Amino acid sequence: MAARFFGVKVEEFGLGFPPRMKKLFKKGDTEYTLNWLPIGGFCKIMGEDGEDKNNPESFSSRSVGQRALILSGGVIMNIILAMILFSLIFMVGMPTDVTGGIDESKISGFKDQKVQITSVAKNSPAAEAGIMMGDTVLKINETKIATIEELQNYIDNHRGEEVNIYLLRGKKEITKKLIPRENPPDEEGPIGVGLAETAMVSYPVHWAIWKGIIHTIKITIFIITAFAGIIWSLLTVGKMGAEISGPVGIVVLTGQMSAMGLIYLLNFTALISVNLAIINALPFPALDGGRLLFLAVEKIKGSPINQQWEAKVNNIGFALLMLLMVVITFKDIAKFDLWGKVMGILG
């Protein structure tokens, strides 16, 4: 869209990265294709490698400012998509933490208040029982649970005893057995979970759009901070300070979110969109941010960068990204025990 706005020819719009799987169709001058590597997509734009500078439809014939806006198109669209999805979620009903109350003067709907698991500590009774973040607590033994206080009081009164916890996971009711610890670690509690009272809260259109924009900004800042922490951890201690996932992990997590419901899936999609925007904006070769960095250098020095040198740098950057993707994919396969599950299916 950005390229066409400035009259630049888009030769191919690809879903996934080459090698090409199939040509879907052609509209105008643009071929729409499906490619084998499911790690994003691309636009092949006339003149993006510096050729055809005298052609009015060429990318290289445009000013630095116009080229920067074209390169920024994907990042901007990812942010806009996240804003639209979050706004839609706030209109329909967003799972919201109402533990401390909520300003009812701004909402249009409030329903399905429940106690949900927000975190599960490693090696805790909850983790060993298979309780997961996002599970809703329905009852313990035969006692129905409506508030965090009711859950905490029941657990405190049954430390050291086996209890049945009835949960709602997506649309499926499940039962887990565990024994609350009598002397749990600090800040974990007897069963090792974080809790929140949540409800589906919806907003009028004008408030939903505003909250969607603000929520996207907050999420963007949070993710940038998290990325900075990962990079800092790599530079200082040589380890990542957080778990990361690639396409395989995203597929697994998408399945989990889908099982929880459409709103959770839309929320996850919006989060992925913000992540893609930030990753593409990083000043790394082969990413949009790297190409924007080259444009900034061109603007400062007053002349284009040697195209052969830029192409080599971008190719090296792309190769490193592919290597990183392979490493992350194997980590995802191990983390989610996909080999074991496949072998189990095969017997």
pTM of the predicted structure, to 2 decimals: 0.77
Residue 172 inside a domain? The answer is yes
- Cβ atoms within 10 A of the Cβ of 128, count? 15
Residue 119 inside a domain? The answer is yes
Partners of residue 201 on adjacent β-strands: 94, 110
- Cβ atoms within 10 A of the Cβ of 253, count? 16
Partners of residue 13 on adjacent β-strands: 32, 43
Number of separate domains in the chain: 1
Residue 262 inside a domain? The answer is no
pLDDT digits (tens, 9 = 90+) for 220-259: 999 999 888 888 887 887 776 667 777 788 888 888 788 7
Domain interval for residue 147: 104-202
Residue 155 inside a domain? The answer is yes
What is the C-alpha to C-alpha distance for residues 295 and 312, in angstroms, rounded to an integer? Answer: 16
Torsions phi, psi of 208, nearest 5? -65, -45
pLDDT digits (tens, 9 = 90+) for 265-324: 999 999 999 999 999 999 988 889 999 999 999 889 888 888 888 888 888 988 888 888
CATH code of the domain covering residue 141? 2.30.42.10
Residue 255 inside a domain? The answer is no
Residue 145 inside a domain? The answer is yes
Q: Which of 119, 100, 135 is nearest to 187 (CA)?
A: 119
Token look-up 């996002």 returns: 134
Residue 44 inside a domain? The answer is no
Residue 135 inside a domain? The answer is yes
Q: Evaluate whether 131 touches 193 at the Cβ level (below 8 Å).
A: yes
